[in-house]
Amino acid sequence: MKIRPAAGVNRTERRRAEFEQFVTDSSAALLRTAYLVVWDLTEAEDLVQECLLAVARRWPRVRGMEHPHAYARRMLINLALDGAPRRSRRRQELDADDPAIMAHLADDASSRALRDVDLRSELTVALGRLAPRQRAVLVLRYFEDLPESEVARLLGCSVGTVKSTASRGLARLQAAMAADVPLTTKEPTR
């Protein structure tokens, strides 16, 4: 959806308003996608924040796109996948006077509770143990419902790679569901 300018305000204010509307409209969806790809809420929030900072910097150009959200999602996925191999980082900002920290701690408690729930779901556990790129393909295909061609474009790979990655991911999930043993990643034995 292309952002349409509002009338009656100057260009700078109009663009700011457009971007703020974009953030309002897109942040929750971007957070869901990030969370499902990186499987960690704090990391997902960081990623979306950085993604939106980047979009803000390019907003004069991004706003003219047909699908600004798709651009942001693509940026988000790439941030999630490109960044993780070299360095992962957990960031938490603390301010005793800031009520946000209480919300954050509440989130953490929620996350721990969610982990308990996850333990009851083999499929969810197996999803969490997939490699992020493999999980990203499954999220884009089965949560975002993107066609394989769009997933390929978004990830910068071929449709064949998307198919094979999804197939391997599904196979691993299938194996995990079938196995009556704890889900662990085992090193190959010789």
Residues between 31 and 50 with contacts to another protein, criterion CB under 8 A: 31-32, 35-36, 38-50
Q: Which is nearer to another protein, 3 or 35 (CB)?
A: 35
What span, in angstroms and rounded, lies between the C-alpha atoms of 85 and 96?
A: 33
For the segment 118-177, give every residue that binds another protein (CB under 8 A). Answer: 121, 123-124, 127, 129-133, 138-139, 142-143, 153, 156, 170, 173-174, 177
Cβ atoms of residues 94 and 101 within 8 Å: yes
Q: Describe the crossing of helices 68-83 and 11-38 by its angle, rounded to 10 degrees.
A: 50
- Minimum CB separation of residue 52 from another protein in Å reads 5
30: which residues sit within 8 A by CB, 6+ positions away? 48, 51, 52, 69, 72, 73, 76
Work out how close the CB of 179 gets to another protein at its nearest, in angstroms, rounded to a whole number.
Answer: 14
Torsion 148-152-157-162 (CA) sign: negative
Work out which of 93, 182, 184, 189 binds another protein, going by CB under 8 A. Answer: 93
Residue from 14, 17, 69, 83 in contact with another protein (CB under 8 A): 83
Q: Which of residues 9-28 bind another protein (CB under 8 A)?
A: 12, 16, 19, 23-24, 27-28
Minimum distance of another protein from residue 161's CB (angstroms): 14
Inter-CA distances, 54 with 40, 95, 133, Å: 21, 25, 22
Residue 51 CA to residue 66 CA, distance in Å, equals 18
Residue 61: CB minimum distance to another protein, A: 5
The count of chain residues that interact with another protein, using the rule CB under 8 A, is: 93
- Under the criterion CB under 8 A, does residue 69 sit at the interface with another protein? no
